[in-house]
Amino acid sequence: MITRDLGGKTNYRLQLPFVEKHLVITGEETVNRFANEIDYKEHARVFDKAEKVEKIEGGFKVTTREGALYEAKSLIVATGALGRHIDVPGEKEYMMRGLCYSAVSYAPLFIERNVVVIGDTKLALRSTAELAHTAEKVTLVTPSHGEFESALGTKVLNADNVEVLEGYRVTAVKGDEYARTLVVEKKGKKLELDADAFFVELELVPQSDVVADLVKRDELGHIVVDCANHTSYEGIFAAGDVTTIVAEQVLISVGEGAKAALAAYEYLLTQPE
């Protein structure tokens, strides 16, 4: 296992002033449970970053950032996806402290609360629609018209508790211990939006470049897989947010990882010793 860390985004826990830590199962707890299970396999763990994958006779060669080389008959790519940031003052300070990156994960926490969604993609519309079912008010800050001409866009525009600020861009995030205010601007006009939380809902960036020359990917860079986690290249399997399997949830990724491991094992059983 070649990895820069264990757990990736799962290690980050959203902190909110109105949610007690003991009321939720944190990603950190989940990662630690898995880490404890593989402690005895320390010889098979390498804390490094895979930079290049090449096809060689009988398998693959992996080159890491530190210059190490590893050979394998099969690969499972589970490199995940990174969230896009808004890159404004205050974002780093309040990241996961009132500034959220997944309405799918946290929407149920915002019953009868005031929230803001940032983005102009289908993901932003989906998140707005989901939050509108629980929150008292949802404000969608969208720099462009985006995908409002879709069925989802129409539903968002017609929702009684949704306000759309089209053409506005975020310029800053303010707060105290937690994010409290979003500063947005449109043609010199500035607004300050107070809310209980702010959701950055931009498309994730799949980390698939390491096998870009070998496997088929979609237009966003996700690795295309079938229901058994096979990629388009024999011997390479993929799982989690780096693939075309959607959901971006820990439980889904864990299951997909198990499927990929079983598929890779079955593949190895067919290969010469």
> Which uninterrupted H or E stretch holds 172?
strand 169-175
Cα gap 227→264, rounded to integer Å: 13
Sequence-distant (6+) residues with CB within 8 A of 83 are 9, 101, 200, 202, 204, 205
Packing angle, helices 151-158 and 122-132, rounded to 10: 40
Amino acid 176: pLDDT: 93
Q: Write down the residue that tokens 């010793």 correspond to.
A: 273
Pick the CATH number of 91-200 from 3.40.50.720, 3.40.50.620, 3.40.1360.10, 3.50.50.60: 3.50.50.60
Token pair of 228 as six digits: 């058994």
**Domain at 2-82+204-269, CATH from 3.80.10.10, 3.50.50.60, 3.40.50.1970, 3.30.300.10:** 3.50.50.60
- Fold match between domain 2-82+204-269 and domain 91-200: yes
pLDDT tens, position by position, 222-272: 999 999 999 999 999 999 999 998 767 788 888 999 999 999 999 999 988
In our burial notation (b when 16+ CB lie closer than 10 A, e otherwise), range 18-45 reads: eeeeeeeeebeebbeeeeeeeeeeeeee
The pLDDT value recorded for residue 177 is 92
d(CA 219, CA 210): 16
For the stretch 96-151, pLDDT in tens is 899 988 888 888 888 999 999 999 988 899 999 999 999 999 999 999 988 899 99
CA distance 119 to 164: 11
Chain Cα centroid distance, residue 99: 15
Residues 6+ apart with CB under 8 A from 125: 140, 146, 147, 148, 150, 152, 153, 156
Q: Is the pTM of this model over 0.85?
A: no
